Amino acid sequence: QLQLSGPGLVEPSQTLSLTCAISGDSVLSTSAAWNWIRQSPSRGLEWLGRTYYRSRWFNDSATSVKGRITVTPDISKNQFSLELKSVSPDDTAVYYCARGTMAFNYWGQGTLITVAS
Amino acid sequence: SYVLTQPPSVSVAPGQTATITCAAKNIGSESVQWYQQRPGQAPVMVVHDDMYRSSGIPERFSGSNSGDTATLTITRVEAGDEADYFCQVWDFNGGHLGVFGGGTKLTVL
């Protein structure tokens, strides 16, 4: 299971921070990757980035958010987090965390993040 | 980057067969996943690697992929199949990007 948490409202130009707690699996799994995906009417489903462990940590991110996104694992809490900097109203969306390497087989429940002042 | 094109909507009567397409140049060389999303819920993967059903998904759901089109077929459509369906590939050439299609709304008449 993936349990997502974070604030529902973020002010423009601030940093959006979300956490996804993992149960029944490990963030250290060498057969999984841990992803952030968002969904909005204007952008549809949009993969944002991921982190995964294969003897060392790797990260990938979408070109649309590269430079603004950080995905970080937390081994002690068995979770991973998303930070998206300098947000604008265009970043308003339902955000999901998901498990999977090239296919997303488990998803968190999703949380609506609104960027507004 | 990879662009996946789906029809915005497909309508079918109960008991009939629904066909949802996902088009892109040479998509047949990629591994395609299909997700079902009901209103207010997270997407659920129904088919992975072109043709393999996820655990718990009825045999009525099947996938294929060849040339420039991947297809999700739902036979003996039921009212509970009404949902949005999205295709997805992993774009290695674009730098390890997860790419989704725009989605198809399946309406059961």
CB of B5 within 8 Å of a chain A CB? The answer is: no
pLDDT band with cut points at 50, 70 and 90 for residue B2: confident
A70 CB-contact burial (10 Å; exposed 0-12 / middle 13-18 / buried 19+): middle
Q: Which residues of A touch B102 (CB under 8 A)?
A: 44
- B102 and A44 within 8 Å at the Cβ level: the answer is yes
pLDDT-derived band at B96 (thresholds 50, 70, 90) equals low
Inter-chain touch A103–B103, beta carbons under 8 Å? no
Q: Does A62 touch chain B (CB under 8 A)?
A: yes
| Average confidence score pLDDT of chain A | 96
Gap between the Cα atoms of B92 and B56, Å rounded: 29
Cα-only R_g, chain A: 13
How many Å separate Cα B54 from the centre of its chain? 13
